[in-house]
Structure 1
């Protein structure tokens, strides 16, 4: 799994399911001291990353040994994924940057495999948050980090293969060109996100990795032989164990393919050292919208709907609605997606305030409060462009049917095309020639917006 920087896709990866697109499961990264400098003891890498479930992992460089798997001569059972490399890093000697430092190190790793002789499937899976060097060897001012997902599979035949893993779903079309006589690595995908300017570690935050998978049997505490300190780990890379933490609740690897192939595993080897740094509870407001209408008797029906990403239970989340009333939020499947609803009619413009608390899971985690504007929910029902007439037609509505807002259409660059007109359902028909917009955004004077690709008609 841990071969750095080689990005390849042998079999074409044609899709990720709509419900499991890239999700950004990392929340924050160490930005160094007040001057933006990093420590030599970490090779001048970021000391830690924090995920959206609140766990913060240090760059794992300590030599703690597993108490579950005995070491053997020449093969110590490290709790970190330390990779000796002759001439570059001798793990029997103290770490010194750059003269004796790993050319690959990790904040997090998760590895699994499926081997089935009967079907001819031999699958290896790895996800990692990795520290490396642009020039392959430790050197000052060449440090990079990235989030990696790697899937390699020997397959028995050509055809369509679907691999479900904790961070998504990949669909591979294996063709005769990919397939040799043995089917070796007909599927060979490595996706690294975050590689960029050296000493800049924020790019990995946009990767596919996160929240961090962790052993259901952990955490584990082991003693650092160099310092005598007790360190805590989210898993043991020397042991295959069931895990939790998938943002999609797919805490397994599954491959489906031609001829009824359907194989899976739910055990992984996990590495990650929990940090002692005190961090606030992650909390992000994904949506805060209201809707309201009244009937012929003037009876008002209203609701305020709030969606939040925050650590799952035993974490807690609630919000104060636009009227100042507390709403306790609910979380259904341990993926960290919370929802709450108030049925009070807001006075707009308005703000809701979310509070997230993860102290029951991580005692050092501090409570976070996040404010967000409460806006109407805008929906585009139609966005069509006729090539023959050069006419753009847009139908859109707002969830505020009492104080009906102004809705305006903008192109992909944010330039105003025109306002819509009408009542609850607003429309626009206008000439735009000769080039149609690829997409439009309808924005509301009450804060909401919706974006859709434009359907092109003859």
Structure 2
């Protein structure tokens, strides 16, 4: 699934309209320095947002569950021999005998239905490679890959749902590899391996039967087996294809590789939103604080630790999305403290506490520009109805437009702007909240 590609650094997208996932889910990469051996200038590890840290998988440990064939050991890592470049029967030495492709993580799946004319291969990876394709010092790159290749019977619209997103393909004609998509994100090189963090691969899929131990090494899966997995950020731990004439096929088994690192890492914690609202109802003050974060799913715990007693956040579906609501009336300015602890799942994981400034929630309900009059009209509101803050408008590039006015939480501004309208506007509150919206153009 990972070889061959004529140019492994190219982004090849054929016959597709892509719908990217809402978020990336790798959390951190080994900051270096990167020694020349054994990792040969690559980062030792990547960590995902569920807290699992994987080393670059170069061990020759073999599976105790699947017997290898002569000349084809059942390696626990995805080691790909290449004549003249890498001989897996010899010691791994950089650069004279080193894989031109190596992996921190791989997950592959397939759907074959000869009767319906479908042959699908899906592969995803966090990959180590070289800009000039063969091992060379200074040429090291890494990237997050999603690859989908499908033989389809007829033209039409096909939708492929996978653990890291949904892809929609408009296929002009059926045939072999009528769908052929490779998306590689990362590839910075020159000692910068952070690009893969921005990809759409992660958290790492892992076998529901793992982790597996071979000798003194532990692995999230056995790539010699096809097994159910967990870890999808969207709870889509499957590959599914839907298409013309009622095509609807799926698989829930993957072959997965990844070597668990022994490095001790803190619990991942990614702030998403911390906002408050308050209003008066029947003469009584009603206040609430809403806190959203990403962190490892249960059995991890996440608490709003800055209030007494600490308030536990809840996590609904195993994807790592956490939320809590506090009914305390905040005294502003206020910075919340949120603590995540994943030590029940990963004993070496240490708790993480992150500050989250509490702000109001600003919503732009109208952003309209009249081409005839050159007037921009804005209407926006703050979630603080009892002590309405000042609201200030700027263009998308930061140019000041002016202050919105009004006696309550809803404020407005009408002003002339020329010679052209702004593409977007941002309204910011003196209590920290903000909202950005595209400007609607009217006659």
- Shorter chain as normaliser: what TM range? over 0.9
Q: Does residue 356 of structure 1 match 2:340?
A: yes
Cα displacement string for residues 343-369 of structure 1 (whole angstroms, at most 9, x for unaligned residues): 010001101100100001000000111
Q: Report deviation, 1:199.
A: 2.1
* In structure 1, distance between residues paired with 2:36 and 2:318: 35
Query: Would you say 1:195 and 2:187 are equivalent positions?
Result: yes
Q: Does 1:246 align with 2:232?
A: yes
Q: Which residue of 2 aligns with 1:184?
A: 176
Q: Deviations over 1:201-245 (max 9, x none)?
A: 00100000000000000000002xxxxxx1000001110000000
Structure 1 residue 14, shift from structure 2 partner: 4.5
Q: Establish whether residue 133 from structure 1 lines up as the match of residue 130 from structure 2.
A: yes
Gaps of 5+ in 1: 224-229
Matches of 1:147 and 1:406 in 2, distance apart? Answer: 43
Q: Distance in 1 between matches of 2:345 and 2:35?
A: 29
- Quick check: 1:306 aligned with 2:291? yes
Maintained 8 Å contact 2:34/2:44: no
RMSD of aligned Cα (Å): 1.2
Superposition deviation, residue 320 in structure 1: 3.0
2:22 and 2:176 map into 1 onto residues whose CA distance is 28
Alignment partner of 1:115: what SS? strand
- Secondary structure of the structure 2 residue equivalent to 1:288: strand
| Secondary structure, aligned partner of 1:259 | helix
Q: Say yes or no: does 1:442 pair with 2:427.
A: yes
Quick check: 1:237 aligned with 2:248?
A: no
Partner of 2:206: 214
How far apart are the structure 1 equivalents of 2:18 and 2:53? 33
Map Cα deviations across residues 234-271 of structure 1 (whole Å, 9 max, x no partner): 00111000000000000000000011100000000000
Question: Which residue is equivalent to 2:84?
Answer: 87
Contact 1:384–1:455 at 8 Å: present in 2 too? yes
Q: Which residue of 1 aligns with 2:415?
A: 430
Counterpart position of 1:226: none
Would the aligned equivalents of 1:193 and 1:204 in 2 still touch at CA under 8 Å? yes
Question: Would you say the 8 A contact 2:389–2:409 is kept in 1?
Answer: no
The 3-state SS of whatever aligns with 1:109 is strand
Q: Which residue of 2 aligns with 1:288?
A: 274
Report SS of the residue matched to 1:146: strand
Is 2:365 the counterpart of 1:397?
no
User: Residue 142 of structure 1 contacts residue 199 of structure 1 at CA under 8 Å; is this kept in 2?
Assistant: no
Whether contact under 8 Å (1:128, 1:149) holds in the other structure is yes
Aligned-residue offset at 1:296: 5.2
Aligned residue in 2 for 1:15:
19
Distance between the aligned counterparts of 2:373 and 2:318, measured in 1?
51
State the partner residue of 1:143.
140
Name the count of aligned residue pairs: 438
Partners of 1:438 and 1:175 lie apart in 2 by 35
Deviations 1:179-208 (A, max 9, x none): 4xxx11111110000012332100100000
Please say if residues 22 and 207 of structure 1, whose CA atoms lie closer than 8 Å, have aligned partners that are also in contact.
no
Q: For 2:383 and 2:47, how far apart are their aligned partners in 1?
A: 36
The partner residue of 1:58 within 50, 55, 59 is: 55
2:19·2:165 contact (CA, 8 Å) conserved in 1? no
The list of structure 1 runs, each at least 4 consecutive aligned residues, that deviate by more than 4 angstroms after superposition, is none
The answer to whether the 8 Å contact 2:394/2:401 transfers is yes
Tell me the CA shift for residue 392 of structure 1.
1.4
Given that 2:16 and 2:167 are in contact with CA atoms closer than 8 Å, whether structure 1 keeps it comes out as no
Alpha-carbon distance in structure 2 between the residues aligned to 1:100 and 1:374: 54
Q: Is the 8 A contact 1:158 1:174 kept in 2?
A: yes
CA contact under 8 A between 1:164 and 1:253: conserved in structure 2?
yes
Q: Distance in 2 between matches of 1:37 and 1:251?
A: 34
State TM-score, norm by structure 1.
Answer: 0.94
The whole-number CA distance in structure 2 between the counterparts of 1:448 and 1:166 is: 33
What is the aligned partner in structure 1 of residue 9 from structure 2? 5
Aligned to 1:382: 366
- Give, in angstroms, the shift of residue 325 of structure 1: 4.1
Q: 1:152 matched to which residue of 2?
A: 149
1:260 and 2:246 aligned:
yes
1:39 deviation in Å?
4.1
Tell me the CA shift for residue 22 of structure 1: 3.9
Q: Distance in 2 between matches of 1:276 and 1:151?
A: 32
Cα distance between partner residues in 2 of 1:222 and 1:241: 18
